[in-house]
Every structure is written in structure tokens, then in C-alpha cells.
Structure 1
């Protein structure tokens, strides 16, 4: 098992917090992840509800690109029914060049019905529109010929993007899959990556082990190739020195988020007991919260449950205090990630070799000391 690691930033900020300051802290978190060596960050698009103030992930990530050096920057996600596909392709290609090849395009149908309502889009049309747009976007980004197509909501006439990818052959594309096969099958149809939300607190989702099988099944139908290495799985993670500390740090914030956002704002069909949200999610394995050892064990379980994936994304929330969140990402990068990246293999082998032969080396040292001339 060898994994990459990153973060998924909706973001979520409780009402009452200054939005300008919240956005600044979001950018600071991206810088911190870059410093710690995380592989990638995905940033969402939302237009209503009050808790997620980023309406254009491309604008946010362009700012982040100027502040960072190596972390890859993904739209998580651009809601395709809300945009003309040529604009989606042009904006992500511009971000790719501004970031010197670090841009990634995550796409979805749009998860908040209120956003679609404000634009006059029927909720029942979103997935159809998503599929129509994705086909056009993939042709624009990966093809070399002008694209012509017409639907009931967009038209392309000899359309082509002016910029080609900064790094060839193409930039990463991932289709969001919030707990169902629909997005996974679209990823298979076009031979692109998938981004799955592994744990949605209080919401029963389809078993994870069947999701990738749906991707492969669809890929076979369309003569495409897919790879589990391009499957990203997102889940809520928080690390502290002990399990008790970790649980206590997130408990008030998670209760507030669940009651004020999940239940009272979006009215999601989630069922958790007030005040016991963290404990119930731990039992359901829709979060990974605890000590370093707990989190390592949780990632192993998630990997086995899915049958294997390429990148684990940590959902960012304001459940814990700011310094505790930053410390959690630090602990994860220092003590959790190396168990899955192969970074420790050489050090562990060297330590074991020296430990196995320590008696011989000690004897050689003593003999050398005896043989040394007296000055």
C-alpha cells in the first residue's frame, strides 16, 4: 500500500465569523499544507447556505498558487450545470498555467438544490446537464479538434481552448461521487479519476467496495482505462496525542456543525443523536478521530473496505480550535502519512539491520579500543 495525502476544503465556517478573515485563514491553511508536504488540496463551489463562502474555486486557488510551491490545486468541485463548458475549460487551463502545472479539475452536478434554484435549474435536470457538460469539457481539454455540439442549455461552435496543458499530455480530471455509483460510472465512461466522500456523518451510503467496480464496469463498456491510483477518497480526520484529547477537541464543534448546518440549514437526511455525534460516527466509521495509532488503524480499515485507492483527502472543518486543527495536520504529516508513503522503509531497514548486528558491532568497537595505541 502506498498512498498520497491531501485535503478537501468545502469550506465550512460557522455563521457569526467574519468571512474575510475566514477566507484568509483558509489560504493560510493551504500554505501550511504546502509547508508540511501534502500532495494536494481541493476547494469547493457554493452559492447559498451561509456556511461555505467560496463561490469560485478557481479564483481562490489562483491566490493560493501565488502563496505555495508544490501542492497541487483542485476545484472540488466546479458544478458543471452552472457554467458554460467552454468557460470551465478555459478557466482551469488558465489556472494550470498560473500554477505552473499544478491545477486539477474536479467536477460535479452541484450538491445544493438551493444553488440550482437561484439559477432557474430544476434539480431533476442537474445530473443530465452534468453528463452533457462533462463530455464537452473532456473533448475541449483532451482533444485536438474543434468541438461542435448543441443541447437545450448550451452550444459549442468550432470551440477550442487557446491554452494547452502546462504539462502534457493533460491535467487531472476527477468526477465527484457523494456516496453513489452515478459519479463513479461517469468517471469510468470518460477514463478520468473519481473523488468519493467515504463518510457522511449520519447518512447511509452505498458500500465503498462496490463503487470502484462500477467505475471499471463502465470503463469496459466504453473501452476506457481507469486506475485505482486516480481514486481519491475523502473523510473527516482529526489527530491529537491521545484518543480522548482528539474526541474532546472536536465534540463541541461537530455537534454545532451537525445541528446548525446539516439539520437546520440544508435539512440533510442524517440521523445522529444530539451530543453523541462524534461517538456514533466513530462507531459507523464515517470519521477517523484519535491518536496517531488510531488514525493509522482507521486508514488501514478504510483502504481494505474500498479495495484500494490512491489518495486520502482530509475534510477540513472548524470542529476544533484553530491551533488544534493546525496541530492535527502537523501530527498527520509527521507520524501518520510516512506509514503509507514508503518514506520510512529505508530508515526502518537500517535500524533493524543495526539492531540485529549490534552485538557484533559492539564487539568490534571494544576490540578497536583495545588495539588503539596509547598516546
Structure 2
């Protein structure tokens, strides 16, 4: 299997206890367009590279007006054209929504566009509601064209993962129905007359917010990314399960766990609270069946929360590390100590680009990352 310890592991820079990375959802704020959101993603990726962050990942979501990241592979290709060094990846591609061969082809293409810089993070959830999941999965296992909510879902994730891995490595055994099918770009090209071996293929990561993917990642010897930002209560148990289940593989000799964490830094503590309230209001609307664009700070301030909504907001914001740069650093350092995470992947949710761009600059400056100017 291709994919080395070096491509998975990062080196902590400055005074950061672990490598710092970025997760972006290409959020669309009120008064803004998807074009604005995707331009912000480019700006964030370029700044993350300049500042010294290790990776920049984008996540797959569907039928959410405030999130423009429905097609991670398309966005990653665009980001690859606007960056030079930073690792780019999916955080993640929701495998049940896609044929494994299609994912192998897409990420083989990305690897050809940006050799040695692509990560393939995979999730087993649909990244949306059941009805949208049915619309995404148009065929049943026999190939019949029927929209059904079941499809090939999370229960079949291990089989889908095994199939995808064989397409990436081009190593289906003789006699397998797919033994003569090849994901291109891919290893098959090196075996033909005049073929040249590519440096490798993207390392596969498993993503999750529960114990299932943690155990599977451990058993397969894969790096694991946990969604602490929306499943904080399960972080420590999941990471313990991952480490207990871990079996060394060709791509990874020991466990490597990344935590996705929501964090936003501003020069002023009150302004940080004002900015993160926009994401909290967006989640209130999503959880109550009213998904929309990310509200502005002014809109969030003016919103009259019910008592139940206020309770949800307080709970949600308790897991969002926000405040001045030193306060955010304290929160991130504490999270590393509690969990033993090998890397932090920070997502900064706020309306528009200014607060998000500045937040990463302040965090980089607090940790003394190579490109930070303070």
C-alpha cells in the first residue's frame, strides 16, 4: 500500500504542542454568494499555507444552503491550483454517497495534480438528511434505477472501504469481477510499456464521531480524525478505542489521531463571543429544521432566543474555544492534554471572511508558526 508515515505525520512548528491544521466548510453568509464563500476558501488556504498550518481539509455536505462544500474533489482541485506546499484533503468524503471507483478516480486525479499533497479522508455518514441521501444514491445493489433511502449505507462501509482501497492500489485478486477494471490515474499506468511509476497515492484516513470508525481505523492501521467540534462527549472514549484497537500497517506504524475543534480568536473577548454566536444561531436553525445562510453578527445579536434555544446555544458554545489568542491557546493546549491528540484541525465558523482569516492569523501568531507575524 502506498502512503507513508511521513505523509501522514506532521511536525509541530513554533511552540504548538502538535501540528495545527484547518477544516473549512465553505460557509455561505447572509448577503453573500457561493462564489464569495469559495473565494474565501482559497484565501483561507493560501493564508494557512503562508502561516505554517499543516493541512487544509474541506468537508462534504448536501442540501444545506449555508454550506457550499458539496463537491470536495472539485474544491480541492481549485485549491491545489492556488497553493504550493500545504497538504489538501477531504474531511471528509462521505463514501456511502459514491461509487468507490469514482472516488479512486477523483483522488487519483488530485494526486496527479498535486503529487504528495493529497489526503483522502472518508466518513460513513451521508452528510445530510435521509431524503437527500436517497436522492444521492440512485441505484440499488443490482443496478436498478430506484431512489431509495437505504442504498449502500453506513452498514456496508467496511466493504466499500475495502473496494476503494483495492481500486487505489490496483490489486484486486485474479478472478474478482473487478480485476480488469482500473482506476485511472493510478498504478496500472506504471505497468504498461513506457509507464512510469507515480510517487504514491493519497493516504486514506477514517473520520468519525463515534466508536465504529474509531475501532475500524485501529483494526486497519489507518490514521483517524474525530469530530470533537460536534461530538465532544465522545472524544476521549473514541480515541481510547482507536488506540486499543490499533494494529500496525504498511502505511502507519502507530496510532495517529486528529481532533476537529471549533475555535475562533479575536483581539477582544466580547467580539469573539459576538462572532461565534453566528454559528450557534445557524446550528439552532439547522436543528429545528430551518437551515439557512450563516447569519451576520448583527442578526445573531438581535435574535430573540427562546429558553430552549438559549440552553442549546450555551451547550454548543461550551465546546467552541473562543476569546483572545492566549485564551484560545489555553483551550487548545488543554484539549491536547486531555485527549493526547497528535494533531488539531481547527474550524473557525463566523459570517464572511474577515473574522475567520484574522482568527487563523492570531492563532498562528500565538503559537509562533513559521509564517506568523504576530
Q: TM-score range by the shorter chain?
A: 0.7 to 0.9
Spell out, residue by residue over 1:179-230, the C-alpha distance to the aligned partner (whole angstroms, 9 max, x if none).
Answer: x111112212321111111121xx6742x222123223433499996634x3
CA distance in 2, matches of 1:82, 1:149: 27
Instruction: Indicate yes or no: 2:145 matched with 1:114.
Output: no
Question: Is the 8 Å Cα contact of residues 89 and 161 (structure 1) preserved in structure 2?
Answer: yes
Displacement, 1:273?
A: 4.7
Instruction: Indicate yes or no: 2:195 matched with 1:195.
Output: no
Select the residue among 236, 256, 259 that pairs with 2:284: 259
- List alignment gaps of at least 5 residues for structure 2: 1-15, 138-146, 188-196, 293-305
Alignment map for 1:199-214 (pairs within 5 Å): 199-200=229-230, 205-206=233-234, 208-214=235-241
Instruction: Indicate yes or no: 2:212 matched with 1:182.
Output: yes
CA distance in 2, matches of 1:328, 1:248: 13
- Tell me the SS of whatever aligns to 1:134: helix
Write 1 or 2 for the structure with the bigger share of helix. 1
Give the total of aligned pairs. Answer: 322
Instruction: Indicate yes or no: 2:328 matched with 1:295.
Output: yes
Select the residue among 225, 245, 249 that pairs with 1:218: 245
Spell out, residue by residue over 1:303-349, the C-alpha distance to the aligned partner (whole angstroms, 9 max, x if none).
Answer: 1221x1222111242x24532221111011111364xx9x99xxxxx
Q: Which residue of structure 2 lines up, in the alignment, with residue 245 of structure 1?
A: 271
Give TM-score, length-normalised by structure 2.
0.76
Q: Which residue of structure 1 lines up, in the alignment, with residue 356 of structure 2?
A: 325
Q: Once superposed, what is the RMSD of the aligned Cα atoms? A: 3.2
Q: Which residue of structure 1 lines up, in the alignment, with residue 367 of structure 2?
A: 336
CA distance in 2, matches of 1:234, 1:55: 19
Q: Which residue of structure 1 lines up, in the alignment, with residue 309 of structure 2?
A: 274
Q: Which residue of structure 1 lines up, in the alignment, with residue 28 of structure 2?
A: 13
Select the residue among 51, 74, 77 that pairs with 1:36: 51
Give TM-score, length-normalised by structure 1.
0.75
Alignment map for 1:99-138 (pairs within 5 Å): 99-109=114-124, 110-112=126-128, 113-118=130-135, 119=137, 120-123=147-150, 126-138=153-165
Q: Which residue of structure 1 lines up, in the alignment, with residue 39 of structure 2?
A: 24
- Tell me the SS of whatever aligns to 2:178: strand
CA distance in 2, matches of 1:239, 1:43: 21
Displacement, 1:2?
A: 3.6
Mark the CA change 1:124 to 1:290 in structure 2 (over 3 Å): closer, same or farther: farther
Q: Which residue of structure 2 lines up, in the alignment, with residue 69 of structure 1?
A: 84
Q: Which residue of structure 2 lines up, in the alignment, with residue 312 of structure 1?
A: 344
CA distance in 2, matches of 1:328, 1:111: 26
- Tell me the SS of whatever aligns to 1:159: coil
CA distance in 2, matches of 1:182, 1:161: 28
Question: Is the 8 Å Cα contact of residues 223 and 252 (structure 2) preserved in structure 1?
Answer: no
Mark the CA change 1:242 to 1:190 in structure 2 (over 3 Å): closer, same or farther: same
Stretches of 4+ aligned residues off by more than 4 angstroms: 147-150, 220-226, 275-279
Question: Is the 8 Å Cα contact of residues 280 and 316 (structure 2) preserved in structure 1?
Answer: no
Mark the CA change 1:215 to 1:159 in structure 2 (over 3 Å): closer, same or farther: farther
Displacement, 1:161?
A: 3.2
Spell out, residue by residue over 1:42-99, the C-alpha distance to the aligned partner (whole angstroms, 9 max, x if none).
Answer: 1122231322223321111111111111111101211112222122112111101201
Larger relative contact order (Cα-Cα within 8 Å, sequence gap ≥ 6): 2
CA distance in 2, matches of 1:75, 1:99: 14
Displacement, 1:40?
A: 0.8
